[in-house]
Amino acid sequence: MLRIISEREKDMEDKAYRNFQELEAYGENTQSSLLYLLLETLGVKNVHSDHAASHIGKAQGILTCLRATPYNSSRRKVYLPMDICMLHGASQEDFIRGSRDQNIRDVVYDIASQAHVHLQHARSFSENVPHVAMPAFLQTVVLEDYLQRVRKVDFDVFHPSLQKRNPMLPLQLYLRSWKKIY
C-alpha cells in the first residue's frame, strides 16, 4: 500500500516519463501492487500468480497512460515516454494538437506493443495460476479489448471510437470468468 501511495505522490509532479522503464515502474508500483493486495485477499500465495500480476499491472499502467492521452492532451499535458516520442520525432505539441500523423501512430504502436507483450507474458503463467486467482486477473479482458480497438483504428489514439464503451464487454467478462481464463 505504501508503494502505491508514494508512486501516486510522484504524479503530483505532473511531468512526462523520461523513458519507458519509468512508465513500467509506475505500472508495477501502482497497478501491480493493487493486484498483489487482491491476491493476498483471495488467499493466493503463488509465485506464478505474482509474476502474472506484475505483468498485468505493467500492461494496465501502460494502457492507462495511453488511453488518457486524448484527455491529457486537451489539458496541454503529455505523459507518454519521451524516449519513444523522440525516437519517432513526435513532439508534445503534436499530441496537444491531436495530430494523427504517422509518427504519432508509431509512438502509440510502440507503447501498445509493449503492453501486449506484458499481457502475453502474464498469460504464459496461466497454467500454473490457481483458479481462485482468476477474478483478480479478469481486467485483462478490458486491456485486450482496448488493444484490439486501437489496432482497428491503425493506432490513432485520438480516434473517436476509442472513447466509446464496448457493449460486449460484460459478456466477454462473463465468458472468461466462466471458463476461468484470463
Mind listing the pLDDT tens digit for each residue in 154-178? Answer: 999 999 999 999 999 999 999 999 9
- Distance between the two ends of the chain, CA-based, in angstroms? 24
d(CA 169, CA 26): 26
Residue 3 has pLDDT above 90, yes or no: no
- In the chain, domain spans: 1-179
State pTM to two decimals: 0.91
For 1-179, which CATH superfamily applies?
Answer: Farnesyl Diphosphate Synthase (1.10.600.10)
From CA 35, how far away is CA 52, in angstroms rounded? 10
pLDDT digits (tens, 9 = 90+) for 102-140: 999 999 999 999 999 999 999 999 999 999 999 999 999
| pLDDT score of 16 more than 90 | no
Instruction: Give the model's pLDDT for residue 95.
Output: 97
Average pLDDT value over all residues in the chain: 94
